[in-house]
Structure 1
Amino acid sequence: MRSILVCLQLYLFTLNAQDSWNVNLVFNWHDTSLPATFAYSNVYNEIWGFEVNNYDYAVIGSTNGTHIFDVTNSDSIYERLYIPGAAQGGEIVHRDYHDYKGYLYIVCQEGASTMQILNISMLPDTAYLVYDSDSTFSQTHNIFIDTSSGIMYAGYVKTLYPSPLLMGMAVYDLADPLNPVEVYYQSTNVHDIYSRKDTVFLNSASDGLEVYDFSNPSSPVFLGSLTGYAFEGYNHSGWLFDDGKHYVMSDENHGYPMKVCNVEDLNDIEVVSHASSGVDPNSIPHNQIIMGDYLYVSYYHDGLFIFNISDPTDVKVCGYYDTYLPSDHASYRGAWGVYPFLGPDKVLLSDMQSGLYVLDVTNALNYNNIVKNYIKGIKVYPNPASGQINIDIGNNEIGPVKLKLYNVSGHLLYEKTLSNRIESLDLGHLNIKGLVFCELYSLKDIKVHRIKS
């Protein structure tokens, strides 16, 4: 019986925008009546999700406000609520969300905005605003609530009272969820924040990654930092691995890969690997969330990419879904955010031009189950390649091998039987461009290996 011996991803210049692999579309919503932003013609921004009373909900921001969808039944997804923003229109680029103790917190960075708090505890029957005011702050770029301590962290904050003040970051105690109390602020800019049990990772823009102990929120203690790393740019966002030993972060610069950092010793944070979509030399990861052994990334221009991170030193793509059809990568369009916590059949994605996506990533998660057993020593290089590839099966006794190349749509592009331990193939005449999947078949027991160079 013929079995897959090797399955790998091979990049052949030049890379193009992709369609999908191992990810299926469940639902898409886009309201053409909503205004686009003056910058980049974006209509939508952040995505969030929550479960309450056995119902699942998706939250997406737009230039006009907040849209909440009931996604409980994949066959009948619909918009359940719309919350108008205090500020609306073409100037609105950023909204952000987090839920805590039956409340959804809604913020915005532009215009005469407010913080809004929505009581969601009685859904599906009803939900209503219980707070809509600029008394705490008028604007903020984003928020993160550490639910273990009831502390809300906010980046790029503008307050109006008692006098206008711009803060790089502010921290609020949610002991009373309807009355956030400021307990700390700093002037140094922080773009994004991740906190787990009061250990707080600050993606500090041009100042790299910083880590603090906020167990006493009014007096944080510095624990460590990382600067001067390869591909350092505008440190934008990040997420901690479930085991707490590694942290993945992205710099919002064209062509810069994500960095996987070992954070077991915060006095010596080390980048142990890089990961990228590989779609274009200018691809940019925007936001990322980790659930289990999988990293979910919303990429500008490239859509959703899912990576297996079970080995932090060898991060592998296992699925993707492109939501932005144009092939340009020079701007900041396409996917904004991702939310995977409603389950593999309800992964939420927001695209700035085309709206809300509900995606089924079951195949992407199952894909890696067949990759755990593999034959070591097989090499396919160079990768990326410009036409010629070399295949070295090493010292493995596997007999004749058949090579097959497929494009992202699953169409067979090329096949050949290999009889030598090392083979060089010139594929230039095929004029293959973009992401290509290479499979090597043997006649022996199933052995599967993915190679990433």
Structure 2
Amino acid sequence: MNGAEYAVVGSTRGAHIIALDDGDPHQLFRLDGAVNGSQHVHRDYHTYKDYLYTVADQGFSSLQIFDLSELPNKITTVYDSTYPIVNAHNIFIDTTSGHLYSCLGGLSIGGNRVSNDISIFDLSNPEKPELLLRDTEIPWWNFAGVHDVYVRNDTAYLNTQFDGLVVADFSDLNDPKLLGRLTIYPESGYNHSGWLHESGEFYAMADETHGTRIKIVDVRDFDNIEVIALFGSETTDFSIVHNLLFKGDSLYVSYYADGAYVYDLSDRENPKLVAFYDTNELIPDSARYDGCWGIYPFLPSKRIIASDRQNGLFIFQLLEDQDVKTFDFFSIESNLIDREFFVNVDGPLDRSYDFHLYNYSGQEVGYSLLDIGRNRIDLSSIFANGIYFAQMSDGYQKQVFKVVKGEWSTY
């Protein structure tokens, strides 16, 4: 905006506008939400032309529209009303049609709040959205609700929670068409979010269910939508994906407690890990949603910004000449252990390697430096039997293995 780069970061208070360009990232403005407080933990944002559109999904949180055209000097509120959007979990703007899609919340219709799975608004006047269509007006609509949506040229890819992926054509709002569905697929769960590759031929999809991996979906034939690749962080059985976006052949992923990840999808059926950063020291847990919440790779400078629920804003630069595509310096000989187990390190000699042991609650209970080659880790009687997480690091990457301490017999 006006030759400068900014980050928009949400909090329980509202939106924070962070200036990024002077080497000292700092908050320029705080835009308080219509409602705020410790219970208001989910907000979503989208920019269109010179405007920022913001929603939240708790309470009567309204749609807020801010004019950013006078940054860095001024931000002007041009719209803040619970009519027609009372609250929403996510929004997406199809810039080709100028339509805003609102997901999973409430609308104000005839003075009453009514539930909303999906609704579409016209932004011909960016400061005054006009309701065009809602799900109750779609004859074939019969889904649990839309958590998120990606739209290109009026074709919408809708994440319908436990009803899977739905693809629809909204080019004629008087006659919207159901194009295809994917309801049965490997590691299905709470169908949460997705992003279409620029080719339009395949789509990355995330189920917000612990232990499920990222899916690459072939969408060339809407009558035969199918998953063609499964991959993920592989750190623990509890890892969980939140959001993911394509930029070119690179897929950028906010991976909750595992951090921020970048994958190379130039071979769509064989994704390769390019880079990752653990934004949060917490170990993935089966009941928690901590860590990296959002990621954004579209800044002109090619910097990547990511938000973490506990640790705030991160700013990254992906090195153009990086040639490390896989990270497999560490291995363990067995994850079933009694008094000891062995970690093998096979990496560059000019790095230092360390070992951290966490119990099932995420508390660190052990630490050791590692040498190149075979390392013996002593888990003597001071450690109770149970599940532990062994984390190894070389200062650039981390790998986590689940190990189980007990009394094991070999026959």
TM-score (norm 1): 0.72
Q: 1:229 to 1:410 in 2, by over 3 A?
A: farther
In the alignment, does 2:223 pair up with 1:274? no
The SS at the match of 2:281 is coil
Residue aligning to 1:66? 15
Q: 1:179 to 1:234 in 2, by over 3 A?
A: same
Contact 2:264/2:272, CA 8 A, preserved across alignment: yes
Alpha-carbon deviation of 1:175?
1.2
The SS at the match of 1:367 is coil
Residue aligning to 1:259? 215
Alpha-carbon deviation of 1:261?
0.7
Alignment of 1:195-214 (within 5 A): 195-214=151-170
In the alignment, does 2:268 pair up with 1:319? no
Contact 1:91/1:111, CA 8 A, preserved across alignment: no
Alignment of 1:296-315 (within 5 A): 296-315=252-271
Q: 1:196 to 1:125 in 2, by over 3 A?
A: same
Aligned residues: 350
Alignment of 1:25-174 (within 5 A): 52-73=1-22, 75-162=23-110, 163-174=112-123
The SS at the match of 1:138 is strand
- In the alignment, the residues of structure 2 paired with residue 227 and residue 436 of structure 1 have an alpha-carbon distance, to the nearest angstrom, of 39
Alpha-carbon deviation of 1:55?
1.0
Identity, % of aligned positions: 37
Contact 1:333/1:352, CA 8 A, preserved across alignment: yes
Residue aligning to 1:387? 333
Contact 2:6/2:17, CA 8 A, preserved across alignment: yes
Structure 1: state its 5+ residue gaps: 1-51, 373-379, 389-402, 417-426, 438-453
Residue aligning to 2:309? 352
Residue among 366, 390, 393 paired with 2:321: 366
Alpha-carbon deviation of 1:177?
1.0
Alpha-carbon deviation of 1:78?
1.4
Alpha-carbon deviation of 1:216?
1.5
- In the alignment, the residues of structure 1 paired with residue 293 and residue 392 of structure 2 have an alpha-carbon distance, to the nearest angstrom, of 22
The SS at the match of 1:314 is coil
Question: RCO higher in 1 or 2 (8 Å CA, sep ≥ 6)?
Answer: 1
Residue among 325, 347, 351 paired with 1:406: 347
Contact 2:242/2:294, CA 8 A, preserved across alignment: yes
- In the alignment, the residues of structure 1 paired with residue 330 and residue 212 of structure 2 have an alpha-carbon distance, to the nearest angstrom, of 16
Letter in 2 for 1:173: D
Taking only aligned residues, the RMSD between alpha carbons, in angstroms, comes to: 2.7
Q: 1:343 to 1:435 in 2, by over 3 A?
A: farther
Residue aligning to 1:335? 292
TM-score (norm 2): 0.79
Residue aligning to 1:235? 191
Alpha-carbon deviation of 1:415?
5.6
Deviation per residue, 1:31-65 (Å, 9 max, x gap): xxxxxxxxxxxxxxxxxxxxx11111100111011
Contact 1:184/1:219, CA 8 A, preserved across alignment: no
Contact 2:330/2:346, CA 8 A, preserved across alignment: no
Contact 2:190/2:208, CA 8 A, preserved across alignment: yes
- In the alignment, the residues of structure 1 paired with residue 13 and residue 88 of structure 2 have an alpha-carbon distance, to the nearest angstrom, of 17
Alpha-carbon deviation of 1:435?
6.2
- In the alignment, the residues of structure 2 paired with residue 273 and residue 254 of structure 1 have an alpha-carbon distance, to the nearest angstrom, of 18
Alpha-carbon deviation of 1:185?
1.3
Residue aligning to 2:128? 179
Deviation per residue, 1:84-138 (Å, 9 max, x gap): 1110102202111001121100111112211110001122232110111111211
Alpha-carbon deviation of 1:430?
6.5
The SS at the match of 1:267 is helix
Alpha-carbon deviation of 1:151?
0.8
Alpha-carbon deviation of 1:222?
1.1
Deviation per residue, 1:289-325 (Å, 9 max, x gap): 1111211100111110111111111111111111111
The SS at the match of 2:69 is coil
- In the alignment, the residues of structure 2 paired with residue 247 and residue 384 of structure 1 have an alpha-carbon distance, to the nearest angstrom, of 32
